[in-house]
Amino acid sequence: MTHFHLRQKLLFSFILILSLTTFVSSHSRPYSTPSVTHITDSFPHVPIESAFSNAFGASHVKFLSNGSMVTLALDKISGSGLVSQNRYSYGFFSAAIKLPAGLSPGVVVAFYLSNADKFPHSHDEIDIELLGHDKRNDWVIQTNLYANGSVSTGREEKFYLWFDPTQQHHYYSILWNSYHTVFFVDNIPMREFTHKNTYPFIYPSKPMSLYATIWDGSEWATHGGKYPVNYKYGPFVVSFTEMELSGCIADPKVPFSSCSNSNPSGLDPVNGAEFNKLSQQQIAAMDWARRKLMFYSYCNDRPRYKVLPAECH
């Protein structure tokens, strides 16, 4: 092979590697994000230590800054998690979260609402799940919701983030009321699921607790264990702060308690006019997020759904 052809081959290989690298990491490129109203400014912070109880892995939970911050750890012995002291019939739930740095395939950080402990065969969930990465992938956020235990009808959507979530805290938020459920990242709406009469049975409606957890999701999150958690890079530590829990606190004595009488919408901002629909600014920001960052939606998953769910049309 001549020197010319060798140089050509090396140049081609370099361009190929560069293009592949650019493709893989393109979603990490800094974006100019849309301007939005900060919904997180509408609600007060709560002291995490008094608002939550240990769910599991108590020895891996550490409260800092007078209980306003908490770290949860995952190692080969255990993960860890917190559960809210109260159950909510609806509300706004938010936390500033800083994810574990380094290689983290199989690590799952979850910030979600559930009532599986009270309704094991017909439970509801609203999920934010942050899925760890290996050398080829960045952390991603998966959102999901379902009702009445219908896991098979989950409504998953996955997004890349436009920042490195391991460098500092970022806001991850859920607005859930009788009109819609909205998922936010740094106050930008990523997804809205509206409550319509066409599918009432898949809209979460029973009181739920709020959970913050870190756990080994190797089998579930990495194609059947293709990239299991490598504990030589552990422990994996996630930090939560600036926690917000506002809404209808359900009566523990009433299984399906409602706040419609005690908290009419005029006195309850979470279920009131201000939060029953997105503003035009928020709609434009959500359109940006979905065009730029969403890489999976159940509405596009034809192999899974031969007949698409009604809301996809």
% of the chain beyond a pLDDT of 70: 81
Domain that holds residue 83: 32-312
Name the burial class of residue 172, with classes exposed (0-12), middle (13-18) and buried (19+) by CB atoms within 10 angstroms of its CB.
buried
| Closest of 91, 269, 174 to residue 182, by C-alpha | 174
| Residue 19 maps to a domain | no
Instruction: Please check whether residue 5 lies inside any domain of the structure.
Output: no
Does 6 map to a domain?
Answer: no
Q: Using the predicted structure, report yes or no on whether residue 202 has a pLDDT greater than 90.
A: no
Is residue 18, in this structure, part of any structural domain at all?
Answer: no
Domain membership flag for residue 280: yes
User: What gap in Å lies between CA 254 and CA 271, rounded to an integer?
Assistant: 20
d(CA 185, CA 169): 11
Q: Is 49 a catalytic residue?
A: no
Tell me what pLDDT residue 99 has.
Answer: 97
* Catalytic entry in 49, 129, 219, 311: 129
Domain count along the chain: 1
Check whether 228 has a pLDDT greater than 80. yes
Q: What is the DSSP string of 71-119?
A: EEEE-SS--EEEEEEEEEEEEEEEEEEEPPPS--TTEEEEEEEE-TTT-
**Tens digit of each residue's pLDDT (9 = 90 or more) over 77-99:** 999 999 999 999 999 999 999 99
Angle CA(12)–CA(15)–CA(19) in degrees, nearest 5? 140
Is 129 annotated as catalytic? yes
Q: What is the pTM of this model?
A: 0.87
Q: Which residues, other chains included, contact 228 with Cβ-Cβ below 8 Å and sequence gap of 6+?
A: 105, 106, 218, 222
Which member of 49, 125, 274, 311 is catalytic? 125
Reported as a single tens digit per residue, the pLDDT across 96-116 is 999 999 889 999 999 999 999
**Predicted pLDDT at 173:** 98
Which CATH number does the domain housing residue 133 bear? 2.60.120.200
